[in-house]
Amino acid sequence: MSTNDDMDFSFFDFLTLFGSLSLFLFGMKTMSEGIQKFAGDRMRSILAAMTSNRFIGVFTGFLLTTLVQSSSASTVMVVSFVNAGLMSLVQSVGVIMGANIGTTTTAWLISLLGFKLNISALSLPLIGISFPLLLNSRERFNSMGQIFLGFALLFMGLDFLRGAVPDLETNPEMFRFLQELTDYGVYSTFLFLALGTLLTIVLQSSSATMALTLVMCNYGWIGYEHGAAIVLGENIGTTITANLAALVGNVYAKRTALAHTIFNIIGIIWMLILFRFFLDRIDYFMIYFGLGSPVNNPTMIPIGLSIFHTVFNITNTLLLIGFIKYLVKMVEFILPSRGKKFERPHLEYFSSGFLHMAELSVFQAKKEVRRYAELAHRMFNFIPAMIIETDKNEFQNIIEKVSKYEEITDRVEVEITTFLIKISRKQLSGHAAEELRRMRIVSSEIEKIGDVCFKMSSVLADKKKEKIYFTPAQRSDLFEMFKLVNNAFELMLGNMQVSTLEARNNLQKAAELEKRINSFRDQVRDAVIIDMEKDPSHVKSAFYFNKLITSCEKIGDTILNINEAVAGINIE
């Protein structure tokens, strides 16, 4: 009977432990979302303006991971940025190095505050500060409230985690397996390294694994050496997450994830060789500065592990920062580019691991919508090619290309809209939500351009069947119209790359281009009527000519709508 009670207690104790860890993770997520919303455009600007300076990259990675409190999240983010073409592979390696250093802040936060202060006493005042801020209708105050609430829940989760841990003396059977793993000498190091990797993969956060490791060490379940092995394992665990995110990405995303893996594995190899020496040095310096030995005093292990974690990551970065170019060459050799598929009917810039960073997903969406607009522009330029093409087979090839592009634009529009809806369900700042709304409008307008281009190709195919030819004057006017539409396209694509304010400043120029397209249509229509009156044999060619000119004018209207949406003018 007593055995059943022990089992019931053990199961309840496990649920309490799991609930405490869940609260810690929820606090981290809440805080991360709050920081993203509070930083908003500024965080995006920092990342977009990143230079190729590797030291700035390292600092950015450190800052990013310190803010989101998860190197898994920040490295997945970096993989997504490389996938989107927002940063190069060389830049990304520097950011990843900084992300590894950024994970050390969690350990210090827990070591210096988590086991010294009564955190629940700190959590309640933080909730007291956050509550009125959360009720405030102003977005910045609301975001600040979310940050404070996240910190409070994070500390509270850590406090519950500490309280939920069963005492090994009164309930040793629950974690006996951990103590048994410590008896295999050098193999124990590898076992705990594997445990750290597994925990990080399961929890999807090296910070949560670190919190759990520090709690286990603080209660004496495992020693200093085995805690350090788990910390090394976390570095492998974070690379698995990034590699999973890169699976659906392009070759550059896969290279970034592989560079992260190689960087961390090189660090772990040299650290395992110097493992005992490293731990002995930290032990010596801690005793020398009067902190106490982490080997003999379990309460000193959190500080010892924080020092180990920080020194290891900083040393590894300093050792390898000069070899970034060689690391990139190695990755490029392992994963060579297979050549870009020009007509890929799916999204190039989105990756699966990115959605949970909703505020920053706006980056990805903007990049993809612009690529979609470029696709429509390429499709439009098949039309003049069809007019001048005399070879029957080549003409048929262009028709097939236009047909394929039309199918691609339809599919991409559905995928983009689905992705934008998914992002909009997440918690977003008002500015980001408005940007997503505008992108949905732009995406819908681009799809209209694809439809018009497809109709134009059908008109030219019918003209070819009937063996109708444009007069030199009609051909000249058509190419003048195509030139005007291409000018409008170029301005639109430029506006999609600049800020809303710059796009708004260009709006007058966009309106003027659209007026020129309209007036040119009116002008050539009158000329065609005069031409038909002079020579009735031009009636059929005039019919096809008018259809193409009208279609170009429709594209001009749609381009103006896109320019207005990009500039923040409300169109529906």
Q: In the prediction, which pLDDT does 144 show?
A: 87
> What is the identity of the amino acid at 86?
L
| CA atoms of 550 and 558, how far apart (whole Å) | 13
CA-closest candidate to residue 306, choices 421, 218, 423: 218
| Cα–Cα distance list, 374 to 187, 357, 367, 501, 564 (Å) | 56, 26, 11, 22, 18
Give the chain's domains with CATH numbers.
Answer: 2-334 (no CATH), 359-566 (1.20.58.220)
| CA atoms of 457 and 384, how far apart (whole Å) | 10
| 365 CB-contact burial (10 Å; exposed 0-12 / middle 13-18 / buried 19+) | buried
Q: Torsion over CA of 196, 197, 199 and 203, rounded to 10 degrees? A: 130
Q: In the prediction, which pLDDT does 482 show?
A: 93
Taking only the tens place, the pLDDT of each residue in 102-135 is: 878 777 877 776 655 555 667 788 889 888 988 8
What is the distance, to the nearest Å, from the Cα of residue 421 to the centroid of all Cα atoms in its chain?
16
CA-closest candidate to residue 199, choices 164, 226, 237, 246: 237
Secondary element (H or E) of residue 66 = helix 54-68
Q: In the prediction, which pLDDT does 355 show?
A: 40
Phi, psi of 400 (to 5 degrees): -65, -40
- The sign one gets for the Cα dihedral 299, 302, 307, 308 is positive
Helices (H) and strands (E) in the chain, counts: 24, 0
Q: Is the distance from CB of 532 to CB of 405 less than 8 angstroms?
A: no
Residue with tokens 């250093």: 101
| 5 CB-contact burial (10 Å; exposed 0-12 / middle 13-18 / buried 19+) | exposed
Non-local CB neighbours of 571 within 8 Å, separated by 6+ positions: 441, 561, 564, 565
Non-local CB neighbours of 426 within 8 Å, separated by 6+ positions: 355, 356, 358, 359, 361
Ranges of beta strands (E only) in 299-445 are none
Tens digit of each residue's pLDDT, the chain (572 residues): 444 444 444 677 778 878 887 887 787 677 767 766 776 555 555 555 554 567 777 887 887 777 666 666 666 667 666 765 556 777 778 888 888 888 787 778 777 766 555 556 677 888 898 889 888 878 788 888 988 888 788 778 767 766 665 554 455 454 555 656 656 666 777 888 888 888 877 766 677 777 778 777 777 777 788 888 888 888 888 787 677 767 766 677 788 888 888 988 999 999 888 888 888 888 888 888 877 777 777 778 888 888 888 899 899 988 888 888 888 889 888 888 654 443 344 455 454 444 445 555 676 677 778 888 998 999 999 999 998 888 888 888 888 888 888 888 787 778 777 777 777 666 666 777 787 888 888 888 998 999 999 999 999 999 888 888 888 888 899 999 999 999 999 999 998 888 888 888 888 999 999 999 999 998 888 777 776 667 666 688 888 888 999 999 999 999 999 999 888 876 55
| Cα–Cα distance list, 288 to 29, 121, 219, 223, 306 (Å) | 39, 33, 24, 20, 17
Q: In the prediction, which pLDDT does 354 show?
A: 43
- Report the 10 Å Cβ neighbour count for 315: 15
Q: In the prediction, which pLDDT does 77 show?
A: 64
- Most distant CA pair in the chain, distance: 109
Helices (H), ranges, 185-299:
186-203, 206-218, 224-246, 251-273, 275-288
